[in-house]
Structure formats: structure tokens, C-alpha cells
A and B are shown apart, each in its own frame.
Chain A
Amino acid sequence: MRKKWMYLTKMSLLKKIKSKWFVAVNLLFLFLIVFLLNIDTIVSFFGGDFSEKTKIILVDKTKQVEPIFESFVSSLENTSGESIRYQIQISSKTEAFEKKKLKGEKEILVVLDKDPENYLAAKIISTEKINSLDYQILVQAINQTKGEYALSLSGIDPLELSKIPSPIQIQREVLSNKQSIDEGMDMIMGSVFPTIILPFFMLIIFLVQMIGADICEEKSTKSMEVIISNVSPKVHFASKVVAANLFVILQGLLLLVYVIVAFLLRSVLSDGNAIGSLTSSLGGVWESLKAVGFIDKLWYFIPTVLLLMLVSFVAYSLLAGILASITTSMEDFQQIQTPIMLLCLGGYYLAIMASIFNGSIFIRILSYIPFISSLLSPALFVLGEINLFDMILSILITIFVNYLLIHFGMRIYKAGILNYSNEKVWTKFAKVIKNKDV
């Protein structure tokens, strides 16, 4: 029987992998991942206005603020994370002269003059509409210049004066015993985490679809009769669950390979600088994670999450298989799988929103619920809302639910795979659950 189980598992897996659609979808994945991770290089390759520097021509009628303005523009363009995009030209000519010379979108004339009431008056002149980011940076730089100019007129000692705009050194002290507190984590949860868990969400969808389609196909073609006359429903179900899980693990590994390929390509395209401008973003995330002490926990976080994912994949495949056995056609399965999808989607959104509802008892309780826990628990762990013990508890609860699904679900599966009627279906299966001899 073991040989037949292995054969059925291999058959289900190969049927999926050898399909031309599997190849097509994976080529598409590879293309999309490579494209998204190299989008800046690709955009640069095609060129455009963005690569051209904006020329700021400054006419400083005060004869005092020119270096201040220049330093603020420079500081702001560094903060924006962009590469150097401005070229500042200090003009000694008149405003009227420079205005006549202006041409194109990339030339902006800034005129700064004394204002008896408001310290500084400013004019921004251009031939066309200015890019909104450029405009914001200019306005901010002018306002900051005005502030510093006004302070310089107040007669305060220059040394003291320089201390005013310099950033405050904040000493952060957390009195609770939670080590993993960092306000920057909200940013990570909001932007980075959804991207990390998206593949897991996708894999769950693949898993449910695969097992459902497989069982429905065998049922609708009545091949099930012949198969079940040669192997027990238990062996058949086990083969479907194992094949579907192997498939998503393989698909997950392939996605990882595509990411590596995309980074390697990025390395080649950016002359050995593998991460390129991505470094600053990833570096920020890494620094944040380091600050909360999360990096030190990675050695047990990753295996625990993978184990939780694995038992959750099994739970999803068991539930999908049981539901597929009840249905009599692929259309019915498409409808009955909707609650599973919503469950999974719920987990995904809760994981994203966990940081917004920091400390929510309700979300914490949900993190123990099988099916949801696979996506929510890791999010809460990263946020420092739960610890390793909670993660292990989630795993144990999911394992227990898997046991229940196998124990009672097998009765439904055994009766369901040979049932072709939709009449009184719920009553029928309620009786089946109660009667172990069915």
C-alpha cells in the first residue's frame, strides 16, 4: 500500500509540475520578480527627464542668504534619498536678466530679497509647471533659510545660533520589560512585512486550488470509483495532502531562486553593487530590527515560523480536501472554497494591520487561531506582541486541529468522494461525523 501511496503522490505532483501552465506561470513569476527588483536599473536604461539635473538659479538680493540656501537644498536632497538632482547657480545678474534666459522645465529661478516685515521675500519663477517634489524642496529650503536668516539678525552668538537648528539627541528609555520596542517597527510592518508574507498567502491559495481541483477532477470523471477500489480513502487523501504540500514547498523554493536570480542580475547590471539603492531601504529595516534585538532572535524565529507555516499548510490542505470531497463539481468547489480564501485573506490583513492596533487583545487571541495564525503570529512576534512560547502554542493548537480534521474529516472524505448528490448534503455529513463506521 505504501508503494501505491508513493505512486499516487508522485502522480499528483507530476501532473501539476509537468503541466505547461506551471511552466508558463513560473516564467511569468521569474520575469515579474526580476523586473520589480531591477526596476530602477530598467527605468534608468531607457533614460528620460529624471536623469537630468534641475538647475536652480539663485538671485540673492540680500547678499547674505546664498550659502544658507545652498546648504539647505543640499541637505534636503540628501534626506529625500534621491541621488544628487540639483545644480545651484548663484547669479550676480538681475532678476529681469535671468528671467529672460530661463528655458525648459529644468530651470528654476529663485529670487530672495529682504522683507521689512517678514525678514525674507521669495519668488520662484519657471517657464513650466515645476515637479511637485522639486517645489516642496524649494519651499522648505526657502523657509529654513528665512528662519536662519532671521536668527542671524537677532544678534545671538553664531556658535549658539548653530545649535538651534541642529537635531536633538534623544535618549530613549523603555520602562517595561519588553526589549523589542522600537517606534520604527510600525513603518516596517506597514511596508516591508506585507511584501514578505505575500508569497505565503499566494502559496496557500495555490495549495487550496490544487488539492480541490485534483479531487474534483477525479470525482467528476468517476475515476475516483476505480482509484478507491484499489487504494483506501485514507491512502488517497494522504497522497493528495502530501503532493499539494510538496508542490507549494517547491513553488516557494522556486520563488526564492527567482529572487536570488533577480539580485544576481542586479549585481551584474550595477557593476557588482548587488543591492544598489535598495541598500539604504534594506539597511534601514535591518537597523530597525537590530535596534529592537530582533536579529538575535532570528535563529529560532525562522525555524518556528517555517514550522508554523508547514502545519498551517497541512491544515489548509486537509480542510480543502475535505470540502472538495463533499462537492460534486468544480463549480461547487469554487464556491465552497470562498470561506477558506476569506480566512486566509483575514489573516493577511490582520498581519498588516497588527501594528495599527498595537496591544489589541482581540488580535492576540486571533493569533492562536489555526489558519489565521500562520500569517498573524509572525507579525505579532516581529512587533514584540508575542514571544516564542505563544508561537509554539499556535503550532500546537494547529497540530491539534489537524488531528481533529484527520479524525473526523476522514469520515466525511470516505463518504464524500463517492457521493454525487447535493441533496441534504449537510444533514448527510453531520450523520457521517457522528458515525465512525460509515
Chain B
Amino acid sequence: MLKVNNISKNYGKVQAVDGLSFECREGEIFGLLGENGAGKTTTFRIIMGLIDANQGSVTLEGAPIDYTKTDQIGFVTEERSLLTKLTVEEQAQFYGALKGMSQEEIDKALSYWLEKFEISSYRTRKIKELSKGNQQKIQFICAIMNHPKLLILDEPFTGLDPINVKMLKDAIYDLKKEGCSIIFSSHQMEYIEEFCEKLVILVKGKAILNGYLNEIKKAYGIKQIEIIGEVQREDFEKIKGIKAIKKHQNKWILSIQNEEVVDKVFQAIRSRKIYKFEAIEPTLNEIFIEKVGSLK
């Protein structure tokens, strides 16, 4: 289990991370969200031991992360951290050796993953000759071929087409099943929503939301109702708590103040012919925009 306990880091007057704490258990995928410059990369660097925090601690399985622990961590950086003059095989051998793997283990793992990602023919090709998507796959393979206990994924799906995204998603789920703790960062909220049970949203290095995704959504409350049926605008106009009424094709979309309004709306139209009535949970994107936007 990864435990980040009250870490802070400042660069001069700039507070990059401010008292951040979270936990990521075995087999859990944790989302780290934030705008550019929110402190995500600094947090990753502190976790990886690349830089020291001014205060706080980071432990993996109860012990501080040092160079005896980093062999158990996989790291996919936002930009492709590959030596482009090397071949795929040489690159894997290089990163594998740095993870303390033997030549045999590297060869075996590389063959397995190249086949799984359907790029076995690229084994002896130079990295610079590969497409961005395939380079991303190689970076991913290099990060996971040692079966890490902790995997840090910083924008792992950048430059990938939907088919390749699915391949990587499957691999991530496999690692989760193996018990790997995964920290996931992306600007694409749908991926975070799909993957992460828990998340933290950073604004200027500070966690403004931290916890399980379903609890965050619950706390945020239902703010929208979608209705398809034989209803008219007048049916909603008199109900208190409705902020806006929109019609998109045959679907009515009501923005509401809180969950209590849902029942009022339902009661008001229950005698009509209704094909769909759905109280919509907020998307993570909406929560992110509202929370981050309100602080600006």
C-alpha cells in the first residue's frame, strides 16, 4: 500500500504541493487530478524519490521509498521517456536492467508484452522509427515488465487510437487484478471516472477534493434530470428548485438545486406518459469544472 502523508514542497515562494495526503491500497486505482501546474508532476517526483519533500513522508508497504524500493515501481511519464536512438529491445534491456531484472527475465517479459500489444515485429526497430502510439506502448511495457507493486501513469493514453487505448486499459485491469496499486493522472475525466475508485483533485498544490469517487459524487448531489415523454414546459415551470429547463430533440433536461426537487418533478408529471425519467449523477468533469472554477 502506498501512503502519502501530509507532503509539502515549495520552490522558493511557489508552493507546488501543500499538505497532500492520500492512500492507495493494493489492487486500487487512484486518480490524481488537477490543472497544468497544479502539482501532479511534483507529487509523482516526490513519490518516486526524485525530489525530497520539504515535509511529510511517503511509504510503500510501510517503508520509506528509497532506491531499494524503486525496483518495485513502474513509471510512465507524460512525455515519452525513451532513448530514441535505441532499438525496442535495447530500450527494454536498459530499463529492465535498471529495475534489477536479469537478461532472461527481460527477454521473456518483452516477448510476452510485444505479442500482447501486437507489435512483435518492432522488436529490433529503433524507437525513433515507431509511431507515437507505438512508442507509448513501448514506454508502457518498459514500466510494467517487472510486475511493479506500484504503477504511476501520467497521461498514459496520449497519442493512442481507441483500439490501442483498449489494449492498455485491459493491461491496466490485469495489473489491478494482480494487486498492483496504480496512480493515474489524466486530463481526460472519462478515463478517471472509468478507472478510479478514489481520487484527489489538486489546485495550486492543495487537495480540494479527496476520497472515493462515489462518495464525492454523492456529496455533490444530483443536479440534473432527463425526461423523455409527453410533457410540456408548463409542467415544470411552477416547481420550486428548478434552475433551468432545456429541450434537446425529444429530451427535456432540467437543472435542479438539490435532490429534493427530483421527487417534486416526478410527482408533477407522474400522470403523463413517461418513457424515461432519470436523475443524473454529476460527471467528474462537471465536479472538476465547478470545484476548480469556483476557486479562480
Contacts and interface: CB of A to CB of B under 8 A. Distances in A.
B67 A232 contact: yes
B167 interface: no
Given A1-B67, A11-B94, A228-B50, A223 B99 contact: no
B49 interface: yes
Nearest to A8: B98
B82 interface: yes
Given A230-B67, A230-B71, A232-B67, A223 B82 contact: yes
Contacts of B50: 225, 228-229, 418
Interface residues of A, number: 23
A418 B45 contact: yes
A1 B48 CA distance: 16
B81 A230 contact: no
Contact of B83 (A1, A218, A229): A218
Nearest to B84: A221
Interface stretch (B72-80, B207-215, B268-276): B72-80
A226 B83 CA distance: 11
6 contacts: A4-B98, A217-B83, A217-B85, A226-B81, A230-B71, A231-B67
Given A7-B97, A229-B75, A437 B45 contact: no
A325 to B, nearest CB: 14
Contact of A229 (B49, B80, B84, B97): B49
Interface in A179-237: 217-218, 221-232
Interface string B49-69: 111100000000000000100
B186 interface: no
4 tightest Cβ-Cβ pairs between the two chains A and B:
A230-B98, A229-B48, A222-B81, A226-B81
Nearest to A232: B67
Contact of A231 (B52, B81, B98): B98
Contacts, number: 61
B229 interface: no
B95 interface: yes
Contacts of B51: 418
A228 B83 CA distance: 14
B187 to A, nearest CB: 18
Given A15-B85, A229-B50, A437-B52, 9 more contacts: A221-B80, A221-B82, A223-B82, A225-B81, A226-B75, A226-B77, A228-B50, A229-B70, A229-B75
Given A228-B50, A229-B75, A221 B100 contact: no
B22 to A, nearest CB: 20
Contacts of B94: 11
Contacts of B49: 229
Contact of B97 (A4, A218, A222): A4
A331 to B, nearest CB: 17
Nearest to A19: B85
Contacts of A232: 67
B71 A223 contact: no
A112 B127 CA distance: 82
Q: Which of B50, B77, B80 has most A Cβ within 10 Å? A: B50
A222 B73 contact: no
Contacts of B67: 1, 230-232
Interface in B89-114: 94-95, 97-100
A134 B204 CA distance: 86
Nearest to B152: A229
Contacts of A226: 75, 77, 81, 95, 98, 142-143
Given A4-B97, A4-B98, A229-B49, A222 B75 contact: no
A340 B88 CA distance: 36
Contacts of B98: 4, 7-8, 226-227, 230-231
Contacts of A218: 83
Contacts of B97: 4, 7, 11
A290 to B, nearest CB: 51
B51 to A, nearest CB: 7
Contacts of B75: 225-226, 229
B124 to A, nearest CB: 14
B45 A223 contact: no
A228 B70 CA distance: 10
A229 B49 CA distance: 7
A418 B50 CA distance: 8
Nearest to B54: A437
A223 B73 contact: no
Contacts of A437: 52
B77 A221 contact: no
Given A226-B95, A418-B50, A4 B83 contact: no
A227 B83 CA distance: 11
B16 to A, nearest CB: 13
A430 to B, nearest CB: 12
Interface string A1-19: 1011001100100010000
Q: Which of B45, B82, B83, B98 has most A Cβ within 10 Å? A: B98
A98 to B, nearest CB: 74
